[in-house]
Amino acid sequence: MVRSMDWQPSEELIAWGNEHFGGMPVDSTWAPDDSGVQYRKMSETSYALIFMLNHPLAQEHHEKFTLLMEACGYTVEKPDGLEMVTPPIDPAAQAQMNFHAKQELAQSWTCPECSFPLANNDFSKSVYEFVETIDAETSNGGTTPIDLWRVILSCESCGKDNTIDPDDFHLLAGDEEFMRWRNGDKEYIALTREQLKDFADSGMFDEGYSNRTVTVMGKMRGEDRVPPWLWGISCLVKNTIDEEE
């Protein structure tokens, strides 16, 4: 591939890549958000580009991802018969098309130990786990702290604890399961605008009304970190102990 950029991955990004790419099972697919490219892990040492939008930004993303993968010790193949898709003119339609394509791919993911479909597991038993905070590069050349998380999903067939990137788990499980967090004896469930409107119409938020069933999530809940995709989100708080009893 002809290289057209001087960009190189940082040490922090390479460290992330070593964990992320190494943790993906062979034959699994990586479809980074809004990148216009998709990759399949062909072996423990190689990836292949399997889809790319016919757009300059997609080409740029592919060059950067290739540099990152090579820095992590992987070869990257670009097949001769690669599918090139011209994106819709409407950006919203393009984003929707990309998301649906990724969701379809996610349904084919299987447990690397026994090939049981990951989509057939009980998502309510998944665990959100904080990994570390890194300094990620920004578009203006600076850095910003980013919390890295992973999702542990136990295979109901063989019992293997599969480690999944949160974005991939979102594709696999959907909005409803992804936007909830079980922590100790509490479960926090993200509310939609329609649900919040119904609560407001019922008088739940009126002055003097005592209510502790709805809360807005910050970065911490007591001494525990909150998954970043729930920051600033209004959540219904449920007591899991009462439900189990």
For 74-111, how does the pLDDT look when each residue is reduced to its tens digit (9 = 90+)? 999 988 777 777 766 567 776 777 777 788 888 888 99
For residue 207, the model assigns a pLDDT of 64
Give me the chain's average pLDDT, please.
87
Domain count, the chain: 3
For residue 140, the model assigns a pLDDT of 82
One domain for residues 27 and 96 = yes
Q: CA angle, 95 as apex, 27 and 39 as ends, to 5°?
A: 20
One domain for residues 134 and 102 = no
Question: pLDDT class for 47, splitting at 50, 70, 90?
Answer: very high
Domain that holds residue 219: 179-244
One domain for residues 60 and 101 = yes
182 has pLDDT over 70: yes
For residue 205, the model assigns a pLDDT of 78
Q: Which two tokens stand for residue 87?
A: 């994106």
For residue 88, the model assigns a pLDDT of 62
Q: Given 175, 198, 228, which residue is the final one in a domain?
A: 175
Residues 6+ apart with CB under 8 A from 157: 111, 114, 116
One domain for residues 5 and 78 = yes
C-alpha distances in Å from residue 161, one per residue of 74, 111, 241: 24, 9, 24
One domain for residues 184 and 134 = no
Q: Given 129, 144, 175, which residue is the final one in a domain?
A: 175
More confident residue, 152 or 35: 152
- CA–CA separation, 84 vs 245, rounded Å? 54
- CA–CA separation, 69 vs 197, rounded Å? 46
pTM strictly above 0.75? no
- CA–CA separation, 107 vs 231, rounded Å? 27
Residues 6+ apart with CB under 8 A from 161: 152, 153, 154, 155
Are 147 and 130 in contact, with CB atoms under 8 Å apart? yes
13 has pLDDT over 50: yes
216 has pLDDT over 50: yes
Residues 6+ apart with CB under 8 A from 226: 181, 217, 218, 219, 220
One domain for residues 170 and 78 = no
> At residue 166, what is the residue type?
P
> At residue 125, what is the residue type?
K
One domain for residues 168 and 236 = no
One domain for residues 117 and 93 = no
φ and ψ at residue 41, rounded to 5 degrees = -80, 115
